[in-house]
Each structure stands twice: as structure tokens, then as C-alpha cells.
């Protein structure tokens, strides 16, 4: 972290220590509210992905690899994560935990339509 600003380096160190302490508490204390825990998990997953992305870009810079190759790999990782999330959502819907009235369903539907259109465009381009 020699090029990292001191405040960012200190915050990374502090947060790493806090997350380790939190991990121990999650093992030893009663489970928190499920919505709160899921929000936390999403935030941690997003930060983990961002840290991994930055790490890979740094690695590419140091090894003089093509950063576009890293970005392509990151897109593949996003696809893998989305596939996992979709499977989890399907299971939630099958259990009745998610309905048309669940918060965020309209936005998700719009996002999926946009994604489906782009997937169709990519598929059409690859057939040409």
C-alpha cells in the first residue's frame, strides 16, 4: 500500500480489524434481523468485488498485462455472481418469500428487460 493515501490505508486496516471482530460476534451472539444481515452481506459483497477489481487492475499494471483482459474477466465474474443471485431469487419465489408486491420487484423487472434486450443484441451480433 505504498502508493495508497495514508487515510485510506488506515481505514482499510481499521475496517479489516472490525470485520474480524464482527465475524467472531456473528459466531457467538444471537442472529440479527435477517433484512439487516442481508443488507450488510450485500454491502460486504460489493466492497469485496471492488477490492478484488482494484487488486486485479494493480496486478495487470505491474505485470503489464492488458487491462482489457482483466475487465473481461471481471465481466465474467459479474455474470457468475448474477447467475447465483438469480438462482437464489428463483428459490425465494418458489418458497413464496418474494412476490409481485415485494419491494424492488418493479425495478428488478425493468432491469431484467434491459438486460434481456442487451443479451439478445449480443446473441444477434455473434450469429452474424
Quick check: 20 pLDDT over 90?
A: yes
Say what the pLDDT of residue 57 is.
81
Expressed as residue numbers, the domain containing 19 is 1-30
Is 16 a domain residue? yes
What's the pLDDT tens digit per position in 87-120? 999 999 999 999 989 999 999 999 999 999 999 9
Is 14 a domain residue? yes
Is 10 a domain residue? yes
Is 4 a domain residue? yes
Say what the pLDDT of residue 52 is.
85
What's the pLDDT tens digit per position in 37-80? 999 999 999 999 889 888 878 877 777 767 777 778 778 888 98
Is 100 a domain residue? no
DSSP string for the chain: -TTS-HHHHHHHHHHHHHHHHHHHHHHHS----HHHHHHHHHHHHHHHHHHHHHHHHHHHHHHT--HHHHHHHHHHHHHHHHHHHHHHHHHHHHHTS--TTSTTHHHHHHHHHHHHHHHHHHHHHHH-
Is 85 a domain residue? no
Cβ(60)–Cβ(67) below 8 Å: yes
Tell me how far apart the alpha carbons of residues 23 and 67 are, in angstroms, rounded to a whole number. 34
Is 18 a domain residue? yes
pTM: 0.55
Quick check: 13 pLDDT over 90?
A: yes
Confidence of residue 2 (pLDDT cuts 50, 70, 90): low
The structural domain count of the chain equals: 1
Locus of grid cell 477490492 = 51
Is 20 a domain residue? yes
Amino acid at each position: 500500500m505504498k502508493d495508497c493515501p495514508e487515510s485510506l490505508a488506515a481505514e482499510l486496516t481499521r475496517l479489516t480489524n472490525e470485520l474480524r471482530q464482527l465475524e467472531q460476534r456473528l459466531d457467538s451472539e444471537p442472529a440479527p434481523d435477517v433484512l439487516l444481515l442481508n443488507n450488510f452481506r450485500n454491502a460486504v459483497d460489493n466492497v469485496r468485488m471492488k477490492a478484488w477489481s482494484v487488486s486485479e487492475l494493480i496486478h495487470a499494471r505491474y505485470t503489464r498485462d492488458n487491462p482489457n483482459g482483466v475487465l473481461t474477466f471481471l465481466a465474467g465474474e459479474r455474470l457468475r455472481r448474477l447467475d447465483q443471485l438469480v438462482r437464489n431469487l428463483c428459490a425465494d419465489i418458489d418458497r413464496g418469500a418474494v412476490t409481485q408486491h415485494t419491494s424492488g420487484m418493479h425495478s428488478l423487472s425493468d432491469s431484467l428487460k434491459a438486460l434481456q434486450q442487451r443479451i439478445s443484441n449480443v446473441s444477434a451480433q455473434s450469429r452474424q
